[in-house]
Amino acid sequence: MKVAANGININVTQEGSGDTTLVFLHYWGGSSLAWSQVISRLSSTFRCVALDGRGQGGSDAPRDGYSAVDLADDVLGVVRELEIDNYVVIGHSMGGKTAQVVASRRPAGLRGIALIASSPPSPMPIGDEQRAQMKMAYANRDSVNWTLDNVLIGSPTSSQAREQAVVDALGVSQPAVLGWIDTGTREDFSREVASIDVPTVIVTGELDRVDPIDVVRGHIVPHFKDAPLHVIPGRGHLLPIEAPGEIADILREFAAGL
């Protein structure tokens, strides 16, 4: 379904029902479908709402508006339009940075956030050469497959999940590619996250090559001193498709505890 929010149409998938809503935000280059295997394990207990970020999946692709602030505005716009009043925001990678910005605003109804292989609130520690490589990562099927094998995925995945990841990456609009690389990865919300006042859980993959464990421990964990850190052995950056069972178990326990 399409939801009009923050001046654009955002594609949203919904499944399940429950007193608590889980709002899922995907990684750069993905879509709401990256969460399918996790949602299927949780929808019997929770209402699950997954968004396609602007310029990705089935959402509109405006020419601008790709900062983490804009993405947070999109999320809160969908929350208002769908009248969600008791919810947890679950952000993966880019979606994790967005989740932190959302939580820093202390919106009514937000009960907690889950940061899954999340980008830090501070600028990503990458140089100009790596940024140039990122801009070509989703240029064609061969480059996407190379990126999956050498950067994003650290363990075997189903052929269906992998193909969906390829399709999602090839569908990313150019404004969304440049918006994250040139703006989102450079933004610093370290001060803002100090105002977050809801429970947080942090999850990372042992083999993550995008936001490795040392980045998580050095640039995310210090902002959330009471948050548990789960390290999933033998898994890489795409935890929603590499370890959907483990992620669902962690989220179920976290949300139920709220």
State residue 121's pLDDT score: 98
Q: Are 236 and 154 in contact (CB under 8 A)?
A: yes
pLDDT at position 99: 98
- Tens of pLDDT, residue by residue over 34-75, are 999 999 999 999 999 999 999 999 999 999 999 999 999 999
pLDDT one-digit tens code per residue, 189-207: 999 999 999 999 999 999 9
pTM above 0.95, yes or no: yes
pLDDT of residue 32: 98
DSSP-derived secondary structure for 75-132 = HHHHHHHTT--SEEEEEETHHHHHHHHHHHT--TTEEEEEEESPPPSSPP---HHHHH
The average pLDDT across 94-113 equals 98
- What residue has token string 């969906």? 164
All structural domains of the chain: 2-256 (3.40.50.1820)
CB 247 within 8 A of CB 37: no
Measured between alpha carbons, how far is 4 from 213 in angstroms, rounded to an integer? 37
* CB contact at 8 A, 148 and 162: yes
Q: Are 48 and 42 in contact (CB under 8 A)?
A: yes
Neighbours of 158 (CB within 10 A): 11
Residue 134: name the closest of 90, 93, 100 by CA: 93
- Note the Cα 21 to chain centre separation in Å: 16
Which 3 state secondary structure label does DSSP give 208? coil
What pLDDT, in 10s, does the model give residues 68-103?
999 999 999 999 999 999 999 999 999 999 999 999
- pLDDT category, 126, cuts 50, 70, 90? confident
Residues near 6 by Cβ (< 8 Å), separated by ≥ 6?
A: 65, 70, 73, 74, 77
Q: For position 179, what pLDDT does the model report? A: 96
Distance CA 177, CA 171 (A): 10
Decide the pairing of beta strands 200-205 and 21-25: unpaired
* Cβ-contact 188, 220 below 8 angstroms: no
Identify the band that residue 149 occupies on the pLDDT scale cut at 50, 70 and 90. very high
Which range among 67-81, 101-115, 119-133, 182-196 shows the weakest confidence by mean pLDDT? Answer: 119-133
How many other C-beta atoms lie within 10 A of the C-beta of residue 149? 11
Q: What is the pLDDT, as a whole number, of residue 125? A: 84
Which tens digit of pLDDT belongs to each residue from 219-253? 999 999 899 999 999 999 999 999 999 999 999 99
Helical pair 68-81 and 94-104, crossing angle rounded to 10 deg: 70
Q: What is the pLDDT of residue 164?
A: 97
pLDDT of residue 216: 97
- Average pLDDT across the chain, whole number: 97
Instruction: Give Cα 241 to chain centroid, integer Å.
Output: 13
